[in-house]
Amino acid sequence: MERIKSTTVVAIRHHGEVVIGADGQATLGNTVAKSTVKKLRVLQGGKIVTGFAGSTADAFTLLEKFEEKLGAFGNNMKRAAVELAKEWRTDRMLSKLEAMMIVADKEDILIISGTGDVIEPDMEIATIGSGSMYAQSAARAMKQFAPHLSAEEMVRESLNIAADVCIYTNHNLVIEKVI
């Protein structure tokens, strides 16, 4: 049975702002299953924002686990991310989950994968999902050649460019700013 998946998520830190955004498309095989999926979650009253790509059910499971780790480690996002990645890689059930996450607070943007990776991306730009390389290329160009844009403008335009090119990404965007 095919899983519902595919998306693009972008997080950017620029001029002291951290913004994360995602498109709204969920794909089942080569068919759009839903075009208004909310792939971002605001945690800790807006101090942490997460985004996910991959199988939706798997992503929700990981999000719940991440929230548990945040609680267990005093809302220390980096520590919670590392502990989630360790458990994700070694736990029998979790290791079968097919998803990736971006987590962001005012200090850090991290990409978490099921292989045990917790990555602090270059240029303070994180992207995941099927359209991630298109969005990352656009974001890097904007940071370098249009630094007058805000982080929110960069996220929005990166996602729009990815949606123009990637068939698994749409223009129904949700964008959140880390408080």
Query: Which residues carry a binding-site annotation for Na(+)?
Result: 163, 166, 169
The CA distance from 62 to 49, in Å, is: 14
What 8-state DSSP symbol labels residue 171? S
Q: How remote is the C-alpha of 58 from its chain's centroid?
A: 14
What 8-state DSSP symbol labels residue 107? S
Output the known binding site. Answer: 163, 166, 169
Q: Hey, is 74 helix, strand or coil?
A: coil
Catalytic residue among 7, 8, 27, 56: 7
Closest CA to 9 of 68, 47, 49, 44: 49
Active site residue 7: yes
User: 56 φ, ψ to 5°?
Assistant: -60, -50
Residues annotated catalytic, as ranges = 7
